[in-house]
Each structure stands twice: as structure tokens, then as C-alpha cells.
Chains A and B, each alone.
Chain A
Amino acid sequence: EDKVVQSPLSLVVHEGDTVTLNCSYEVTNFRSLLWYKQEKKAPTFLFMLTSSGIEKKSGRLSSILDKKELSSILNITATQTGDSAIYLCAVENSGGSNYKLTFGKGTLLTVNP
């Protein structure tokens, strides 16, 4: 069974801190790894990673995939209170005809002013 483990489960930081969120996975037929940010409502898409070692950046957020270690990290620099959310990691399984996502339980990030 496909498995995604995120750490830490929760994290409290002060504005301006840099955080690193971790995601490790076990999946047959790996296709991609995705990061989402979930506040009160829908998970919103952040990154999709398919190739190892290539960093993706969007403003203060960046992410990289390590296929050898079966893991990924999400970095957030100069955190702001608006970064407070649950960050979800998911892997896409392309086995057969489906592309379902297997999610981790998420990391709850709280950024205090």
C-alpha cells in the first residue's frame, strides 16, 4: 500500500523564521510528488515535482525532490502569519489507468507575529 509520511506534524515559529517541512514516501509506480496548502477550505496547489534534484520556486516557497531518498522538502523563508496553514504532501501513482493521489497527514504550521 502506498504511504506518505510528513514531519513534523506541527510547527510553531515566529514571523521571519525559515521553516523546512519534510515528506517521505513509499509508492509503486511513482509519477510525481505534489505539495498543497490547506487553510480553512480547499487544498491549493503549490508544486508538482517529477524530477530529482531540480528545485522549484515560487516567491518565498521552494521545494525539491530526492528520488534516491524517496523524499521531498518544502522550504518557506521569511515566514508571514499568512503562511499559517496545513501543508499537505501527496504522491501520484500512475499504476494501471489511474492517477490517484496518496496524501500524508500534513504539517500544521503556525506563524506567530
Chain B
Amino acid sequence: NAGVMQNPRHLVRRRGQEARLRCSPMKGHSHVYWYRQLPEEGLKFMVYLQKENIIDESGMPKERFSAEFPKEGPSILRIQQVVRGDSAAYFCASSPYRGPQPQHFGDGTRLSIL
């Protein structure tokens, strides 16, 4: 697909554990977006990051969720003390610069909470 790499593809965690989802944007892309897709729901925006900066985190729950995009390495979406309701597909998208450019998506990480 578009070349955005996400891992792991599937992640299983028990309630109370931490989940770390990684996203490497397409080459040359410095803007990263995270979305969550719940069953029967559309994709919901969570957070928009540039290198070392969180630009907009208005869609991210205030507690337990955090995101970063360091100078070196992938973007990380971190969920602490996971609960059953966190079970979803988490997609990362990237774009080369701020709009209007289409965002290209990775294959997603399917998070299951036992």
C-alpha cells in the first residue's frame, strides 16, 4: 500500500497492561496522524504530530493515552492501563507537509484487550 509502516499488526494485552503502537511514516513525510476505528464506527481522529511536536491532540482521551514523534525513530502511540474499551484498530497516516495533501494510511494495529 502507501508505505506507512505500522507494527505490530496485532497486539493482545490484558487489562491493566501497557500497549505501544509504532508508526513509521512514508519517506519524506514529516506529519503523522493517528486514528482509531471501533467496530461499526468510522475512523476517529486522535492526534496530529510533527517531529518533536504535538500539534493537535483534541481527539485523544486525556488520561492513559499519549503520543510522541521523536526526532529519530517512529511515532509511538502509548496506552497505559488498558481497558476492554480500548480494543480497536489504530491507524496511522502521514503526509509530506501540512495540507492540502492526502494523508496516506498504514495497515493499522489491531489491539485486543483480554
Residues of A within 8 A of B (CB): 4, 31-32, 34, 36, 41-45, 48, 50, 88, 90, 92, 94, 96-106
Contact = CB atoms under 8 A, between A and B. Distances in A.
B107 A41 contact: yes
Given A43-B43, A104-B42, A105-B40, 6 more contacts: A45-B105, A88-B43, A92-B99, A100-B33, A101-B33, A105-B42
Among A4, A92, A101, the one with the most B-chain Cβ atoms within 10 Å of its Cβ is A101
Interface of B: 1-2, 4, 33, 35, 40-45, 48, 55-56, 58-59, 91, 93, 95, 98-100, 102-108
Nearest to A44: B1
A34 B99 CA distance: 12
B105 A98 contact: no
Binding site secondary structure of chain A: strand
Nearest to A2: B45
B1 A100 contact: no
Contact of B105 (A44, A97, A106): A44
Contact of B108 (A42, A45, A104): A42
A102 B91 CA distance: 14
A42 B99 contact: no
A42 B5 CA distance: 10
**Which 8 A-B pairs give the minimum distances between C-beta atoms?**
A98-B56, A99-B99, A103-B42, A42-B105, A100-B45, A103-B43, A41-B107, A105-B42
Contacts of A99: 48, 95, 98-100
Contacts of A43: 43, 91, 105
Given A96-B56, A100-B33, A101-B103, A42 B41 contact: no
Contacts of B33: 100-101
Contacts of A48: 100, 102
Greatest chain B CB density within 10 A among A36, A94, A99 is at A99
A101 B98 CA distance: 12
B2 A50 contact: no
